[in-house]
Chains A and B, each alone.
Chain A
Amino acid sequence: MTAVEVLAAAMLVAGGGFYLAGTVGLLRFPDALSRLHALTKADNVGLLLVCAGLGLLSGSLREAALLLLIWLLALLAATVSAHLIARRALADGVEVERRDGGTP
């Protein structure tokens, strides 16, 4: 395995790890907003790593550029949908706890 392949494999595994972390957050966090926080951050970084790893493996600049475009589009979609879900969750009256126990 060449150095590029090793690096790409490491990125793919790291991306998978980020996805796992996001899913654990989705399952374990108490309310909608914190779940959203875990999911969007972890999934987008995970996708970036996966796309970067695949781009490295592809060996062609065109494919790497297309993968970057895919990541940007996924980022846009995830951003807007997270925003809309958060707005809806707030409107529904989800409780957000502060560290000192009060509510904002």
Chain B
Amino acid sequence: MSLAVDLSIAAGLVVLAWRSLAGRDLFRGIVMYIVFGLLLAVTWARLGSPDLAMAEAAIGAGVTGALLMVAYWRLKRISPAEPEDRSPRRSRLAATVALLSTGMVAAIGLAAVQAIGPGGIAGRALFEALPATGLGNPITGVLVVFRNLDTVLEVAVLLAAYLAVRAVLGDRGESLAQPPPQEARLVGALVGVVAPLSVLVALYLLRAGSYLPGGAFQAGATLAACGVLLLLTGRLRAAADAGPWVRGALVVGTAVFGLFGVAMLAFGEPLLAIPGTWAVYLIETAMMVSIAVTLMLLFAGAAGLGGGRR
């Protein structure tokens, strides 16, 4: 019975992946990709990880989908003719390559799945070391305490992406997504309900991420989604200059995390050792702020944020 559920979700994923990439209409492909992301979130829940499901729904389907849509409309305005033809001379070679790689990935995957028995040594060590950190969520433990080098670099990558976008697009004052000149009344009601609720949910996810599924990334993504809504409805506007608040918000995640790591060296601890659960909360809060603001600015394609109409 449960195998049927797995089969239907997996089949749906494959079909959606195909539909998002095949066919002539690029817009339809983007919509299919968003649906693919949502079904992937269901997949994560099915495979037993609510953390990943939340992150995928917010970031993978939500923010990425919004980014793709905005870019699509922008590109459409710049050059209305889109080359969508398949190039027939390459398709046989491409099909062979794709089939071979499918086989390779399947072989790797099946081997990995069967090799589970004596493996998982690191996971076992994680399971045993987790209670000492005061955290109940193993993913948060890995991200903030045990393998926090990856997380520091990841927040730095977000910052680097913002800087790279800024370098490529210049100091744009106008957002890539423009709100329509006349707004429907219902949208105001939606924003009035959803925006405060998103902040509440984000703060809850941040706090609950220590012992339940959740954490800084999911919280930051929720805030970013709220920010995207505000940008799309004109409550927030893009600005040509990132003011001190925006600059601070962009940098605080990397800075706090990095400072902690380096400061511990002065106390004789190894690099990036985390002194206690209070440090985890502080770092996660800083990360949430950075992730939210960076994703919003990536969406806007602009340098900074400013107030808009009420």
Contacts and interface: CB of A to CB of B under 8 A. Distances in A.
A76 B188 CA distance: 12
Interface string B192-204: 0110010000000
Interface string A78-104: 011001100100000000000000000
B190 A87 contact: no
A93 to B, nearest CB: 17
Contacts of A87: 184
A84 B184 contact: yes
Nearest to B191: A80
Contacts of A84: 184, 186-187
B187 A76 contact: no
Interface string A20-51: 00000000000000000000000000000000
A77 interface: yes
B184 A76 contact: no
B178 to A, nearest CB: 15
Nearest to A69: B197
A74 B189 CA distance: 14
Contacts of B184: 80, 83-84, 87
Contacts of B197: 73
Contacts of A83: 184, 186
A103 B184 CA distance: 24
Instruction: Give the most central of B184, B186, B187: most A CB within 10 Å.
Output: B186
A83 B190 CA distance: 12
A70 B194 CA distance: 12
B269 to A, nearest CB: 41
Contacts of A79: 186
A79 B197 CA distance: 17
Contacts of A76: 190, 193-194
A88 to B, nearest CB: 9
Contacts of B189: 80
A84 B194 CA distance: 16
B38 to A, nearest CB: 13
A104 B186 CA distance: 24
Contacts of B187: 80, 84
A82 to B, nearest CB: 10
A73 B194 CA distance: 8
A9 to B, nearest CB: 13
A34 B184 CA distance: 21
A80 B187 CA distance: 6
Nearest to B183: A84
Interface string A56-80: 0000000000000000010011011
Interface in B270-293: none
Contacts of A77: 190, 194
Instruction: Give the most central of B189, B190, B197: most A CB within 10 Å.
Output: B190
B185 to A, nearest CB: 9
Contacts of A73: 194, 197
A84 B184 CA distance: 8
Contacts of B194: 73, 76-77
B223 to A, nearest CB: 17
Interface of A: 73, 76-77, 79-80, 83-84, 87
Given A76-B193, A80-B187, A84-B187, 12 more contacts: A73-B194, A76-B190, A76-B194, A77-B194, A79-B186, A80-B184, A80-B186, A80-B190, A83-B184, A83-B186, A84-B184, A84-B186
Nearest 6 A/B pairs, CB to CB: A80-B190, A80-B186, A83-B186, A83-B184, A80-B187, A87-B184
